[in-house]
């Protein structure tokens, strides 16, 4: 039996941006007391020009009921670089598609890649439109809060916030671990006899995390410039790798690349093809990273969705070209499937050990730059969720240093969580893979929920906020396909990659996902019902909808 609807008056927790709000400190916190008021928010007294707000940014923040705390230092180019270098599609085509090669062979991987990126484009487009409607660092959990039915928006928003936060934590840890394995691979290129015990894995990963922290704290002021340079490096690195491989490597036959389907993972061809989608999505994940820096982007309601869409289009184009190059140049399939790092075989096929090392270094540097973006993204998402009192220690996590333009506490919290995760391989690499497997499943779940909420409003003919980047009359169809495709892929995220299933190759992501959901619901019932400020409660004109207080708890179906 669903709990009865609790009716209560909702007072905005925060005021709208105002030029006359006087600061008490350069560090702001949203959770200093139980009933904060606009005057209690210690914001730096600056004009919109000093925040680098456009008039549209001011209007958006006012509608969202949020105060401006970040200086908007990201332009379109740096924003495009931010999301492009984290997606890093062509880079991850090289380092993460071994499952696809095993389950489909060269031809199966090629055709599965094409169909997957076309279908996933509807999800990216749907997210981009929501980013234009509500350009906030909260991203998915805010969209769910604003667009979900009144009776269920609070619990759905809260669960989405936890899944997004922990999903991004897992993504940061996963990215840092990829860099760790790359460092080891570069050593083994010249010294094949070297073996790395578990404690060295941990130390290398901790070192990667510590260097990443530097760029997100004392180096944060140059982060937009670094992201712009990363964009050019992303393209230049692609040209270097493709030219080197096409010129120097022997080539597979076109029949093998485009026609010869193989299933070597134990599955029959049809499920093998569908399971390969998951690793392909991993190569194309990350479009929502830029959403979480929306409050740092000039003219965010148009720049953020444009960056999301065009970074996806650009990355997919480079990814397809790199995939074709890899499939022609990688050589016989059997040794590639048996290898822990197939891209090393690909680079060694150039016949030049020195060039192989250079290509490895280029690949490592570009993926490491993506780690910087991942940490920045997770820190902003965690800060936004803490701002709305969705996390433990929200008063501390919700602080923002306006002098440095960095939420230091969430940067440190994210980094500490990654360092703790880096200790897990000391006991079990399988356990570490279990934890980081949350990334794909957790984030994809938040995409599906938020898109589903917008789809429901469109089906019911309910109004949506204006969007400068809009799907127009095709929105209903694109949202509908995106929602059902996300649900479809979620099913295959739960399948093991190989048969027969063992403890080592089992897919533990569903178990971790279930634990996160249970944990978020328990925390919500214990503390969240009293302290969580659902974003819709302070959205302009949305304090009460259809007779229901939108922040009230009701677990019944709409």
pLDDT at 155 over 60: yes
CB contact set of 522 (below 8 Å; sequence gap of 6+)? none
- Give counts: helices (H), strands (E), the chain: 22, 4
Q: pLDDT grade, residue 393 (50/70/90)?
A: very high
Who wins on pLDDT, 118 or 50? 118
pLDDT at 542: 60
Q: pLDDT grade, residue 378 (50/70/90)?
A: very high
What percentage of the chain exceeds 90 in pLDDT? 64
pLDDT at 120 over 60: yes
Question: Do 143 and 291 contact (CB within 8 A), yes or no?
Answer: no
How many Cα atoms occupy the beta-carbon half-sphere of 323 within 13 Å?
A: 31
Q: pLDDT grade, residue 198 (50/70/90)?
A: confident
pLDDT at 49: 63
Q: pLDDT grade, residue 537 (50/70/90)?
A: confident
pLDDT at 45: 53
pLDDT at 256: 93
> Could you read off the pLDDT of 58-110 as tens digits, one per residue?
999 999 999 999 999 999 999 999 999 999 999 999 998 888 888 889 999 99
Q: Give residue for tokens 């990273």.
A: 289
Give 81-136 as a DSSP string. HHHHHHH-HHHHHHHH-HHHHHHHHHHHHHHHHHHHHHHHHHHHHHHHHHHHHS--
pLDDT at 32 over 60: no
- What are the boundaries of each domain within the chain? 53-394+402-549
27-41, 78-92, 119-133, 349-363, range with the lowest pLDDT: 27-41
Tokens of 202: 């941990």
pLDDT at 173: 93
Who wins on pLDDT, 113 or 28? 113
d(CA 411, CA 322): 33
Provide the whole-model pTM. Answer: 0.88
The topology under which CATH files domain 53-394+402-549 is: Amino acid/polyamine transporter I (1.20.1740)
> Could you read off the pLDDT of 444-467 as tens digits, one per residue?
999 999 999 999 999 999 999 999
Q: Where are the beta strands (DSSP E) in 380-469?
A: 400-401
34-48, 238-252, 264-278, range with the lowest pLDDT: 34-48
Q: What is the DSSP letter of 549?
A: E
Question: Do 301 and 468 contact (CB within 8 A), yes or no?
Answer: yes
d(CA 70, CA 51): 7
pLDDT at 550 over 70: no
> Could you read off the pLDDT of 250-283 as tens digits, one per residue?
999 999 999 988 888 888 888 888 988 988 999 9
pLDDT at 527: 83
Q: pLDDT grade, residue 437 (50/70/90)?
A: confident
pLDDT at 33 over 80: no
pLDDT at 473: 94
Which three-class secondary structure state does DSSP give residue 478?
helix
pLDDT at 513 over 70: yes
pLDDT at 3: 37
* Distance, C-alpha 192 to centroid of its chain: 34
Mean pLDDT of the chain: 86
Distances (CA, A) of 14 to 17, 131, 503: 9, 21, 49
pLDDT at 29: 55
pLDDT at 306 over 60: yes
pLDDT at 51: 75
pLDDT at 237 over 90: yes
């Amino acid at each position: 039996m669903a709990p009865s609807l609790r009716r209560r008056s909702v007072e905005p927790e925060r005021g709208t941006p105002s030029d006359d709000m006087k600061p008490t400190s350069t560090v702001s916190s949203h959770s200093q007391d139980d009933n904060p008021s606009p005057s209690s928010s210690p914001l730096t007294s600056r004009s919109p020009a000093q925040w680098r707000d456009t008039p549209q940014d001011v209007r958006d923040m006012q509608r969202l009921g949020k105060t401006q705390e970040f200086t908007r230092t990201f332009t379109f180019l740096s924003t495009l670089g931010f999301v492009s270098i984290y997606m890093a599609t062509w880079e991850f085509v090289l380092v993460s598609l071994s499952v696809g090669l095993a389950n489909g062979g060269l031809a199966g991987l090629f055709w599965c890649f094409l169909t997957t990126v076309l279908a996933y484009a509807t999800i990216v487009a749907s997210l981009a439109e929501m980013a234009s409607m509500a350009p906030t660092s909260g991203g998915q959990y805010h969209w769910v809060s604003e667009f979900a039915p009144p009776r269920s928006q609070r619990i759905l928003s809260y669960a989405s916030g936890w899944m997004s936060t922990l999903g991004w934590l897992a993504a940061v840890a996963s990215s840092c671990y990829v860099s760790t394995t790359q460092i080891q691979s570069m050593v083994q290129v010249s010294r094949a006899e070297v073996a790395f015990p578990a404690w060295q894995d941990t130390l290398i990963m901790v070192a990667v995390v510590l260097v990443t922290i530097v760029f997100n704290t004392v180096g944060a002021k140059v982060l937009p410039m670094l992201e712009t340079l990363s964009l050019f490096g992303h393209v230049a690195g692609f040209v270097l790798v493709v030219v080197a491989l096409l010129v120097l490597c022997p080539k597979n036959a076109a029949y093998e690349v485009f026609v010869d389907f193989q299933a070597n993972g134990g599955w029959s061809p049809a499920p093998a093809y569908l399971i390969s989608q998951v690793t392909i999505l991993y190569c194309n994940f990350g479009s929502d990273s830029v959403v979480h820096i929306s409050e740092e982007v000039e003219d965010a309601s148009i720049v953020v969705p444009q960056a999301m869409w065009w970074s996806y289009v650009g990355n997919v184009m480079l990814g397809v070209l790199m995939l074709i190059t890899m499939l022609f140049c990688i050589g016989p399939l059997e040794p590639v499937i048996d290898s822990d790092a197939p891209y090393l075989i690909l680079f060694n096929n150039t016949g030049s050990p020195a060039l192989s090392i250079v290509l490895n270094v280029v690949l490592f540097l570009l993926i490491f730059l993506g780690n910087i973006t991942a940490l920045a993204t997770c820190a902003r998402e965690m800060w936004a969720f803490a701002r709305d009192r969705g996390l433990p220690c929200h008063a501390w996590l919700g602080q923002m240093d306006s002098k440095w333009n960095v939420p230091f506490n969430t940067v440190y919290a994210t980094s500490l969580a990654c360092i703790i995760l880096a200790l897990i391989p000391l006991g079990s690499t399988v356990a570490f893979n279990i934890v980081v497997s949350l990334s794909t499943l957790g984030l994809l779940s938040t995409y599906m929920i938020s898109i589903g909420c917008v789809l429901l409003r469109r089906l019911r003919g309910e109004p949506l906020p204006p969007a400068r980047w809009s799907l127009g009359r095709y929105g209903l169809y694109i949202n509908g396909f995106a929602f059902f495709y996300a649900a479809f892929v979620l099913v295959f995220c739960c399948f093991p990659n190989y048969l027969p299933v063992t403890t080592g190759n089992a897919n533990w992501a569903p178990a971790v996902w279930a634990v996160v959901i249970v944990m978020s619901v328990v925390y919500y019932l214990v503390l969240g019902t009293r302290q969580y400020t659902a974003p819709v409660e302070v959205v302009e004109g949305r304090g009460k909808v259809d007779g229901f207080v939108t922040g009230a708890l009701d677990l019944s179906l709409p």
